[in-house]
Amino acid sequence: MAELEVDDASHNMPHSPRTKGIIQHFVRLVKTHTEGLDNDMQVTNEKMGQLEATQIDTNTKLANVEMTVAHIDKSLVALLRRFDEMHANTNGGRDEGAEGN
């Protein structure tokens, strides 16, 4: 788009060969710089896509780990309840036996 503006301006105003050369030089520099930025943006977008895919995969794995931890927590709670019941029954039996002696 900048190229068109420069071209339009150069057609409307007469320029010396030196000025035309300078304008062409800077047009080439801007074009090269713009192409470089376009390439950088493409690479950045590709890398962002890879990072997003990795993030989605990691989030899925994390969700699975969280579900596993929740299951383990439930199992541990059940085991602790059972141990508490066994401990209460054992202490209850000993206390009764000790009182009877």
pLDDT > 90? residue 57: yes
Q: What is the pLDDT of residue 13?
A: 77
Q: What is the mean pLDDT of residues 64-77?
A: 98
Per the structure, the count of domains in the chain is 1
pLDDT > 80? residue 90: yes
Residue pair 26/33 in contact (Cβ under 8 Å)? The answer is no
Q: Hey, what are 37's tokens?
A: 């930025």
Residue pair 10/23 in contact (Cβ under 8 Å)? The answer is yes
Predicted TM-score of the model (pTM): 0.52
Domain range for 86 is 2-100
Q: What is the mean pLDDT of residues 23-41?
A: 96
pLDDT > 90? residue 45: yes
